Structure 1
Amino acid sequence: MANNNSLVVPQARAALEQMKYEVAQELGISLPQDGYYGNMTTRDMGSIGGSITRRLVQMAQQQLAGRS
């Protein structure tokens, strides 16, 4: 199975990066400034990723509800 981590909308990269830092701050997790995440725990990274996914799903649901 191919690993495809490319963004569907490449222009969204900056917004997703900003969201990552916001979520990490809300969870009390400090992200390394050098961009190397190898020393981060799986639990912390999973918490950040899960929170981002919840936010994105919530945003999509709100947009879909507005269209109905």
Structure 2
Amino acid sequence: MTDRWLNVDEIADHLGVSKDTVYTWISKRSMPAHKVGRLWKFQKADVDAWVKAGGAGDDAQREPA
């Protein structure tokens, strides 16, 4: 059985960040997420791998100043 899909509240809680941070990471740092209708859904394993690869780090894909 595969893990269930998490919503924005659940993934924000899992990572210890705000929902606004999650939305920013989706749009600016290519956080692994899938839009289902109007809702964003996440696979915990994909997000954990993204974090471990440095996707959420301070040096990750910043916009030019």
Structure possessing the higher radius of gyration over alpha carbons: 1
TM above 0.5, one fold? no
Please identify which structure carries the higher helix content.
1
TM-score, scaled relative to structure 2: 0.34
Please identify which structure carries the higher strand content.
2
Q: Which has the higher contact order (CA 8 A, sep 6+)?
A: 2
